[in-house]
Amino acid sequence: MSRVLLLLPTGTYRAADFIAAAGALGAQVVVASEHQQALAGAMGDRSIALPFDRPDDAAAAVIELHRRTPLDAVVAVDDVGLITAVLACRELGLPHNPPEAVTMTRDKAAMRRALAAAGVAQPEFAVATGDDDAGRAAAAEVGFPAVVKPVSLSGSRGVIRVDDANAASLMAKRVRVILADAGEDPDGPLLVERFVAGDEVALEGLLRAGRLETLALFDKPDPLDGPYFEETIYVTPSGLDGAAQARIEKTVAAAAAAIGLREGPVHAELRLPPGGAPIVIEIAARSIGGLCSRSLRFGAGASLEELILRHALGLPLDDGATTRERAASGVMMLPIPDTGVLRAVHGQDDARATPGVDGLEITVAAGRRVRALPEGDRYLGFLFARGDTPGAVEAALRAAHGRLTVVIDDP
């Protein structure tokens, strides 16, 4: 029986889906998180605690575990465990990305420099270090409108559009407060990019020995023009023509190669300026976040997590295993509309009963304090739909969302 170690940070949404995928493949699971008590009830002695904030130490603990009970794969399900996973895989001789490449995907400024050196199309950018006047100067350098963002956070947290120099200074200060709140260095560098107008898409792919295979291309029908960049609806298959999709795939492959990624899942975000080439906004050495992967099915109903584990375990991925289902599908990341205490989400049964909807997960418990973007670090939940066409899927998601009423008390 194959044995896989899943690195599951306590804040991940994805533990259940990866554990289920391993079960579907007949693999034995060992799970690792920051806190042993978070795992002991579910996994018993097949769980370990790892210090993900100290990747070298965490990788050493994985190697020691392997000496006692050999592992066939080590898989990080989210950003937090990525460095630990690649360091461990390198020592164990398992397929992996170079550690420096994965580190680059976790540092947006380093990623930008690597893409620039390789000539990959991306926004004009500058790195602001020092005080908030540096943010003003960097924005003036790239031109307005610009986007100020932290180099380390994800999920659109701390990403803010600015339209003039005064806004650049004010929002740089705001981003630094967000960094401090997230436990990151508030005095560290900020990335400032020229805002790119146009539609946005997301590509889900799998790298095998450096070759990119596209698993799904999502359209994002809601405009993402700022001032904050709250993502909502993803729908696949894309409505773009074959030539446009081929250009996107070529750009993502070039970006992955520029960074040095060679193995495993890739999630990329791109802008499509009118009449221009695809522009890389971000590329990550992981699969799509949250519960969004539940919108995807492959082969004989396989999940995205099954494909990722198949690759990590060296199992076959042929005979249409990576072909997405023919039906259109999509997900809506439910936005948090205000900051305060979540009291209730009414209308859930009506939303689930909407034709085309096949799932609704509210992932924030009533009574919990929530924050809207750009300070917020999560979505309210996830809504899923399937249909004959992408348009039908989008309509179902919008109709179901319209049946939800979110009650948030003032802070």
Write the CATH number for 108.
3.30.470.20
CA distances from 308 to 67, 204, 205, 388, 411 (A): 24, 11, 10, 27, 41
The rounded distance, in Å, linking the Cα atoms of 79 and 188 is 20
Question: Which pLDDT tens digits describe the chain residue by residue (411 residues)?
Answer: 899 999 999 888 899 999 999 999 999 999 999 876 454 445 556 889 999 999 999 999 999 999 999 999 999 999 999 999 999 999 999 999 999 999 999 999 999 999 999 999 999 999 998 776 888 899 999 999 999 999 999 889 999 999 999 999 999 999 999 999 999 999 999 999 999 999 999 999 999 999 999 999 999 999 999 999 999 999 999 999 999 999 999 999 999 999 999 999 999 999 999 989 999 999 999 999 999 999 999 998 999 999 999 999 999 998 789 999 999 999 999 999 999 999 999 999 999 999 999 999 999 999 999 999 999 989 999 999 999 999 999 999 999 999 999 999 976
157: left (phi over 0), alpha (psi -120 to 50) or beta: beta
> Which tokens in the block code for residue 77?
């399900």
In a domain, 311, yes or no: no
Are residue 11 and residue 43 in the same domain, yes or no? yes
pTM: 0.94
Task: Give residue 262's domain range.
Answer: 99-120+196-284
Are residue 238 and residue 266 in the same domain, yes or no? yes
User: Which are the contacts of 402, defined by CB distance < 8 A and separation ≥ 6?
Assistant: none
Are residue 267 and residue 169 in the same domain, yes or no? no
Are residue 174 and residue 114 in the same domain, yes or no? no
- At residue 320, the pLDDT reads 86
| Amino acid identity at 280 | V
- At residue 134, the pLDDT reads 81
The rounded distance, in Å, linking the Cα atoms of 387 and 210 is 34
Are residue 129 and residue 108 in the same domain, yes or no? no
For the chain, what is the domain count? 4
In a domain, 319, yes or no: no
- At residue 306, the pLDDT reads 97
CB-based contact 202:233 (threshold 8 Å): no
In a domain, 46, yes or no: yes
In a domain, 304, yes or no: no
In a domain, 91, yes or no: yes
**Degrees to nearest 5, angle at CA 301 with 360 and 288:** 55
Are residue 22 and residue 79 in the same domain, yes or no? yes
Give the end of a domain, one of 233, 266, 284: 284
Are residue 172 and residue 216 in the same domain, yes or no? no
The rounded distance, in Å, linking the Cα atoms of 339 and 183 is 20
Q: What is the CATH number of the domain that holds 85?
A: 3.40.50.20
> Which tokens in the block code for residue 327?
């039906």
| Amino acid identity at 263 | E
Are residue 270 and residue 372 in the same domain, yes or no? no
Are residue 25 and residue 139 in the same domain, yes or no? no
CB-based contact 277:247 (threshold 8 Å): yes
Are residue 49 and residue 171 in the same domain, yes or no? no
CB atoms within 10 A of CB 132: 19
In a domain, 92, yes or no: yes
Are residue 342 and residue 403 in the same domain, yes or no? yes
Give the end of a domain, one of 143, 167, 194: 194
CB-based contact 62:88 (threshold 8 Å): yes
In a domain, 309, yes or no: no
Q: What is the CATH number of the domain that holds 188?
A: 3.30.1490.20
In a domain, 318, yes or no: no
Give the end of a domain, one of 174, 194, 214: 194
Are residue 222 and residue 105 in the same domain, yes or no? yes
Q: How many CA atoms lie within 13 A of 237 on its CB side?
A: 15
